Structure 1
Amino acid sequence: MAVASASTAAALPSLHYASRSLPHRTLRLLPSIPYTSHSTVTRLSSRRLPNRYSSPSSPSSFSVKAAAASASKKSVLIVNTNSGGHAVIGFYFAQELLGSGHEVTVLTVGDEGSDKMKKPPFTRFSELVSSGGKTLWGDPAEVGDIVGKNKFDVVLDNNGKDLDTVKPVADWAKSAGVEQFLYISSAGIYKTSDEIPHVEGDLVKEDASHVAVEKYIAGLSFGSWAVFRPQYMIGSGNNKDCEEWFFDRIVRNRPVPLPGSGMQLTNISHVRDLSSMLSLAVENSDAANGKIFNCVSDRAVTFDGLAKLCAQAAGRELKIIHYDPKAVGIDAKKAFPFRNMHFYAEPRAAKQILGWTSTTNLPEDLKERYDEYVKIGRDKKEMKFDIDDKILESLKVAVTV
């Protein structure tokens, strides 16, 4: 496969991944919890989470496998968003829980008959029902009325981005005697740092709406609570463009315009990894109590590397064009689906506390996504590339379709 750039073509096999070669930093464990891994005691960093994030009741030594084996079947309520990439997390989480014998109810925001429900993952909710799950729709602020007298052991809020939205759900869960409360936050709340990847305990933007939610949940004194911070994700049923943005250009023989050098690191996780982390927290609620988890895979990829992997999955040639958004006069947020910077977190807490392992394999996972891309006919769909054309015109790059 030929791969060209604005300067020198790069060979496909030299994919720009980053993982263990990055500078090592010790996990910022919660201040009150010593963590032991085999015979080695993990050194605690001087940068620690505030006391409000600690979990005094958590044991200093915990056998995750033993707890998982003896975990009782639980009744779980998933409050699921009706849009964006996060909706697929709730779907996969429900599938995994049902497969383990738990009872699952999914409450999705809005109306079952809305146009949003005509898109994945909602079009696949019948799979949940056929596996014994229940599906409901409505306003999460009225969750008590919607679920009626049904009792739940665990509640996951996979919807609210601010306290006004999450507070009614969390307050109801507390009053209803829910034992464990889980919240999908965002790794986007970390402050920009010269040291990457972001790990649990790194500084966050105090004015970020998710931060206020995390603090509020921590103060409700649930028997167990945990926060999960995802980044970008892929997987069947995802309805937010990620890899599709690259496929759209590659299959039409268009240059792929990447802002900056193309060497910016980011993290793209298969949603099965995110759901498996959540499931481990349910089955090991004592270990998960009071913890913050970066809900991501354990490898990074560069923008150039992702473009090359997408071309490889599609079996097409690739031409990468690098550009300076300011020089071209465009807003990179509108021209490109990722943050134009290093945006990379590591799932250190999940590995050390829950015994979690990542299964994301971008070369293979992107093949699955490309097959679906073609199956729905998006490769033949008529599209406009107005912003791309402006970029390419500024760089005097001709487009031959």
Structure 2
Amino acid sequence: MLMLAVLSAILFALMFLAVPIGVALGVASVAIVLIWDMPGFVLAQKMVNGIDSFPLLAVPFFILAASIMNSGGITTRIVDLLASLLGRQRGSSGVVNVGTNVFLAGISGSSVADASATGALLIPEMRKEGYSGGFAAALTAGAALIGPILPPSIPLVIYGVIAQVSITKLFIGGYIPALIIALALGLYVSSYARRHDLPRRGRQSWSVIGRQFRASVWALSMPLLIVIGARGGIFTVTEIGAVLVVYAVFVGWVIHREFRWRGVPTLLLDAGLQTSNIIIVVATSSFVAYLTVVHGVPKDLMAWLTAAELSPVAFLLIVNVVLLIAGMFLDSTPATIIIVPIFLPSAMALGIDPVHFGLVVVVNLMIGLIHPPMGLNILITQSIAKVPMAEVVKESLPILAIMISVLLLITFVPELVLWLPRLMGL
């Protein structure tokens, strides 16, 4: 246990100095190897084993597909369609923000990417309509949490690899929780707009809406492509990522004619850099997870649970508390890789379905993106809105309460996660 304590101290010291999480984990791991005179090949072996996974190949494809669709003008068409449909509603740009994040969730699988994309598009629009900068930033940060819960989801892929669980089941299981979050945020925004008497824009004519719908139908069909491909066994998760890239190129180049081949090197470089960041974190986190297992942390936890005679619900509440605290300091990828091997054996011993457990883990860790000190989503949207961080944090508190309420709902009602995969015969 001393080794784990030293590793944690080094890791948090480096994170306090704003060292990137992947580098911090790597330096902490090397320090442990040197201090305890461990064979160097153990570190290398565990890092390589951590990324030696076919499903992880889906990650660069998801990232690249999102970049191509944004550059091909698909996102702006969805925004225009939603704005036209919702124009008669007070403060319609806020609900458009939530709807756009639901759509983007079916492309990128990354909350941070969605927060950046929708923030740049919609925060200025929301401010013009009368929303405060803090509220616009907080809503965008919160709505972007839907991304990693709906497929394709990078955090669910990583969890599936670690837990050896069907990623397709995880993807399908995320639909109902994500839609509950979207509905709750939409109702909250509508209530805010009424309380502050925000203006109505006026809905466009049916001819304009029809034209915008025809322009958006290719993008709107993407979630259907994912579900049919996964449910029908036509594609594996990795193949779905590759299909999305081809589909994005086809729509952007052939249908909308906005995709430019000269921009491909930049898109590939950006996707490569984002993927390398994730893979470095996965590799270094795998060594830390190995240390926790070798030192018997999962076994000690299971012994404590047996002695305490906890119910599955009580166990999940403890996991929620641990993960909410972990999300304050760790990104979702290292937190998943380090914590899941500790708690998953006990969860399965208590009869908790690993798909249900996976969604609880992912929703938990996403909440960490909208509260300090990590709060990466609110850092991004605050920089776009150019307002004091205190204002964004204050406005994010009701959104944080909504997310925790949904987390508790899926914790106590597993069928919200398991019913749809079961209905589809998965």
Same fold (TM over 0.5): no
Structure with higher RCO (Cα < 8 A, 6+ apart):
2
TM-score (norm 1): 0.29
TM-score by length of 2: 0.28
